[in-house]
Amino acid sequence: MSRSTATVTASARHAQGTSIYGVEAIDCDVHVAVPSMNALVPYLDDYWRESVTTRGLERHSLNITGQPANAPVFARPDWRPAEGAPGTDLGALSKHLDAFGTKFAVANCMYGAQVLHHEDMAAALCGAVNEWIAREWLDREPRLRASIVLPIQNPKNCVEEIERRAGDKRFVQVLVPVMGEMTLGRRYYWPIYEACERHGLAVGIHAGSSYRYAPTSVGWTSYLFEDYVAQSAAFENQLLSFVAEGVFAKFPALKVVLMESGFAWLPPFLWRANKTWRGVRAETPWVKRSPGEIVREHVRITLQPVDEPPNREQLERTIEQIGSDSVLLFSTDFPHWHFDGLAALPEGLSPALVKKILLENPVETYSRLRDESAPKEIRQ
Amino acid sequence: MGRHVVAAVGEIAEGERKLVTLEGREIGVFNVKGEFYALLNKCPHSGAELCRGMVIGLAQSDEPGEYRLTRPGEFLRCPWHGWEFDIRTGQSWFDPKRVRTRAYKATIEPGSELMKGPYVAETFPVQVEENYVVVDV
Amino acid sequence: MNINVKPKSESRAQPEQKLSVVDCDIHPATKSASELFPFMAKRWQEHAVTYGSHVRQGLSEGLAHPRMTPDVARLDAWPEDGSTPGSDPEFMRKQHLDANGVELGILIPLGRSGSHQRNLDYGAALCSAVNDWQISKFCDFDKRFRASITVTQEDAPTAVAEINKRAKERRFVQVLLPPRSQEPLGRRRYWPIYEAAVANKLPIGLHLGGMGGHPSTGSGMPSYYIEEHTSMVQTMQALIASMVIEGVFEKFPELQIVLIEGGFTWEPALRWRLDKHWKRFKSEVPHLKRAPSEYVIEHFRFTTQPIDEPEDPRDMRHIVDWIGVERLMFSTDYPHWDYDDPRYALNHLGLSEAEKRKIFSGNAKGFYGLQ
């Protein structure tokens, strides 16, 4: 199911700066994967470097449960490198950006350091991952931007890591998995949002769980398929947490990006949240606008996976029902498998909407993309 | 359309209300801090008997974790879905422009100039020097 | 608790409720725990008094997210004697069945449920008592009431025995299970219950709630009631996914499910999502012979309350078309606060008269085999 594209070659498209869609494209979710802890060792301090050796930590894959690298959804066959796990090869990623003519791509690294219980080990490893991303990905591929992998176990460590990275404008957001120890809107996490707002970093929430609890309110699911489907429900829960806890009231400039969440669930979710809010408003009186209004202003969602309905009219309606054309952000979710060939964009979207999704919405969402070369002091 | 006596001023104490039927419409008459307001007893949302709801203040906040109960006794909470209405204007709090309930003008009138209404039809001593609550329907 | 206004209005000047209604979600209540005692062995009466409820949450009897109205109820639904809404069948008959043209009302007992109890034997005693009590207090009182068989789902053999015992009583129209169970309800430990339901030609009703011991989200417990209330929708989504993906409907092709009080506008998106990702996970679940959405369409129905209210009402019409009018069955949730009134609740759906008749009564009569 591949679209017909212009006959311009990939490198020529790259030179022009336009994507295969004839418009500049910013891919808001591509994955890079840590091949093994040995890759991180150069970026650890003496204590942790020795721990790796003495404890045999390098024998731990730190693969997050529910995201096995070889499962089809996580590894499109033609996006696998010749060697190594999907997402570990810079060449494959660069080729991918060439194929689409992508201007920028935001790299997300889902790594099990965010799941460990030891806060400081998590902080050390996340710090190493972020340094590794900067040196071995961002330095080598100028089209790449990235999310700061946060040691979410302890917000104070998160803030320190944010301060460490904030000067590097190629980091445009922070990254946390959608299911962790607490609902993300809670005040416990607010130091993170304060730092993000101050530095113009988006809060990136990606599908994935640390499995501190069963992934659903009905208990422990049996199959990875079930877990994958359940991610959208987790995003719904977190969205309402952000709204109800007043995160956007407290941090009015904050943007939250949902990644690999799907989006077809959004309109009915907002209808229900709005309806309930009207009657229970007094419990959270700092929520002064409807949840729908708040979400449309502050929340963005990457395009993949498009949980497409059987017919195009249903998809068009669903997108209309979102009530804003500013919400969707283009993504390919490389190397995850949600479409074949270059068919990342659903058919039949208007050119205006396509341009919003590909370019305008990402630029508006990631303020640091706009001023990537400006010194921090005059960035505003 | 007409003006109807619904109660003697002293009958509805501050914070209290009275439900009456005028020209086929059920109306709740409320005493809010000594002033009288009348609302149609039908919530614009789903037809609940709005005037049977709780009279409340308005919970407001400038910051998560901060709670201020303002304007005590000035709001009515629909007995079904909990929508909050400003008794004086009938406006819903969450969406004042688009959602409001029908408000009727209620004034205090001296006894001698009034049309006879349902109130007077009951056997109730009428005193001309008393003030009456009159509702325009 | 009813607000005292003078004078008390006798009748409401409201539009006549012309359509006859089958209400698929009415909540009966007990005035006190002892109301169940006539239906419990002495040993369990004593247990109830001495030890009481023992559940998987921090409060033994209350809701850990207190609701916004007393006893979760409409303010005007309190009987004269001040006992809790739903506990007075005469009051319920007048205020709801008669006033709203309810031809048949299906009882969904929630309070004092045995299905949450960690002590399974106590739970079984409570379930049995609640089942007897529904018939005695409500169904015998007014022939418009129908009842639901409550069971201890965590103890499948006992649940099966209760189903088999009750099935002969035709006024029980379904087996009631809580969506929030210890394990997702698609798991095989619950399959004997489905077998018994099918054998007795009973559908399964899943009314939101339950205390399975898991937090309401995959990231722990939410702080506020708006979150907790909404999380029930995600619970229903997980429930559908579990039952479909585990292959319950391959094993029990005749099993029919109704999801009660979970709403329905979210269903199309879930179906699309299931089908989309099934393509990539097919090899993990080879027992599924058909696309997941086919199982969902064939085996799941929805009660309408709480009806959603999008800014553009035409959106509701689209959803109704995408789900199918036949799969929706009207409910009020009387006497709860988010009650849907039959005079108003469906008016914005853009339904034809024929469609209204189906949703208000025809679909439920067919689904439940009601006369």
**pLDDT for the residue C126:** 98
Sign of CA dihedral A329, A331, A333, A339: positive
pLDDT at B128 over 90: no
Does position B107 have pLDDT exceeding 70, yes or no? Answer: no
* Mutation to test the C interface, candidates B22, B80, B83, B119, most C Cβ within 10 Å: B80
Query: Digits of tens for pLDDT over chain C (371 positions)?
Result: 455 554 333 334 344 556 799 999 999 999 999 999 999 999 999 999 999 999 999 998 888 999 999 999 999 999 999 999 999 999 999 999 999 999 999 999 998 889 999 999 999 999 999 999 999 999 999 999 999 999 999 999 999 999 999 999 999 999 999 999 999 999 999 999 999 999 999 999 999 999 999 999 999 999 999 999 999 999 999 999 999 999 999 999 999 999 999 999 999 999 999 999 999 999 999 999 999 999 999 999 999 999 999 989 899 999 999 999 999 999 999 999 999 999 999 999 999 999 999 999 999 999 999 97
The answer to whether residue B47 scores a pLDDT higher than 60 is yes
pLDDT recorded at residue C3: 58
Write out pLDDT tens, residues C18-75.
679 999 999 999 999 999 999 999 999 999 999 999 999 999 888 899 999 999 999 9
Q: Is residue B112 very low, low, confident or very high in pLDDT (cuts 50, 70, 90)?
A: very low
Q: Is B73 helix (H, G, I), strand (E, B) or coil?
A: strand
What is the pLDDT, as a whole number, of residue A151?
98
A-B C-beta contacts closer than 8 Å: 42
pLDDT surpasses 80 at A311: yes
> One-letter amino acid identity for C47?
H
Q: What is the pLDDT of residues A78-111, one digit of tens each?
A: 999 999 999 999 999 999 999 999 999 999 999 9
The first and second tokens of residue C80, run together, are 């004269």
3-state class (DSSP) for residue A186: coil
Please judge whether C309 and A271 are an interchain contact, meaning their C-beta atoms are less than 8 angstroms apart.
Answer: yes
**How far B123 CA lies from chain C's nearest CA (Å)?**
14
Q: What is the pLDDT of chain C when averaged over all its residues?
A: 94
Q: Do C74 and B48 touch (CB under 8 A)?
A: yes
Report how far residue B52's alpha carbon sits from residue B86's, in angstroms, rounded to the nearest whole number.
14
Q: Quick check: C343 contacting B, CB < 8 Å?
A: yes
CB < 8 Å to B47, chain C:
14, 341, 343-344
Q: Where are the beta strands (DSSP E) in C58-98?
A: none
Of the candidates B17, B26, B82, which has its C-beta nearest C68's C-beta? B82
B70–A contact, CB cutoff 8 A: no
C-alpha–C-alpha distance, residues B30 and B39, integer Å: 8
Say whether pLDDT at A350 is over 80.
Answer: yes
- Chain C residues with beta carbon closer than 8 angstroms to that of B79: 3, 74-76
For residue A372, the model assigns a pLDDT of 54
Report which DSSP code applies to B38.
E
CB contact under 8 A, A181 and C219: yes
How close does chain C come to B126, measured CA to CA in Å? 18
User: What pLDDT was estimated at residue A378?
Assistant: 32
Of B46, B47, B79, the CB nearest to C75: B79
**In C, which residues are within 8 Å of A223 by CB distance?**
245-246, 281, 284-285
Write down the pLDDT at residue C10.
Answer: 37
Contact B9, B133 (CB under 8 A): yes
Closest residue, chain B, to A291 (C-alpha): B94
Cβ atoms of residues A181 and A154 within 8 Å: no
The whole-number pLDDT of residue A7 equals: 39
Chain C, 154 to 183: residues with Cβ < 8 Å from chain A are 179-183
Give the chain B residue whose CA is nearest to the CA of C311.
Answer: B98
User: Which pLDDT score, from 0 to 100, does residue A38 have?
Assistant: 95
Write down the pLDDT at residue B97: 62
Residue of chain B minimizing CA distance to C339: B80
**Which pLDDT belongs to residue A5?**
40
- Is residue A376 predicted with pLDDT exceeding 80? no
Strands A26-31 and A104-108: parallel
> A380 pLDDT exceeds 50?
no
Q: What is the DSSP letter of A306?
A: -
Query: What per-residue confidence (pLDDT) applies to A231?
Result: 98
C contact test, residue of A181, A216, A280 with most C CBs within 10 A: A216
pLDDT digits (tens, 9 = 90+) for B10-25: 899 999 999 999 888 8
Which of C356 and A373 is assigned the larger pLDDT?
A: C356
Which of B19, B48, B81 lies nearest to residue C5, judging by beta carbons? B19
Q: Which residue from C minimizes the CA distance to B28? A: C5
- From chain C, the residues in CB contact with B42 under 8 A are 14
Whether the CA torsion A368, A369, A372, A375 is positive or negative: it is negative
Does the beta-carbon distance from A285 to B67 stay under 8 Å?
yes
Asked if residue B125 has pLDDT above 50, the reply is: no
Q: Residue type for B8, please?
A: A
Q: Looking at residue C309, what is its pLDDT?
A: 93
- Residue C38: predicted pLDDT: 98
Name residue, tokens 């998809």: A315
What does the pLDDT read at residue C61?
84
B127/A contact by beta carbon, under 8 A:
no
At A182 the pLDDT is 98
| pLDDT at position C168 | 97
Least Cα distance to A248 among A206, A301, A193 occurs for A193
CA dihedral defined by A227, A228, A230, A234, rounded to 10 degrees? 110
Residue A31, sorted as left (phi over 0), alpha (psi -120 to 50) or beta, turns out to be beta
pLDDT, mean over chain B: 79
Whole-structure pTM value: 0.93
The confidence band for B118, taking pLDDT boundaries of 50, 70 and 90, is: very low
pLDDT tens-digit readout, A204-259: 999 999 999 999 999 999 999 999 999 999 999 999 999 999 999 999 999 999 99
User: Looking at residue B110, what is its pLDDT?
Assistant: 54
- The 8-class DSSP code of residue A187 comes to G
Q: Do C308 and A219 touch (CB under 8 A)?
A: no
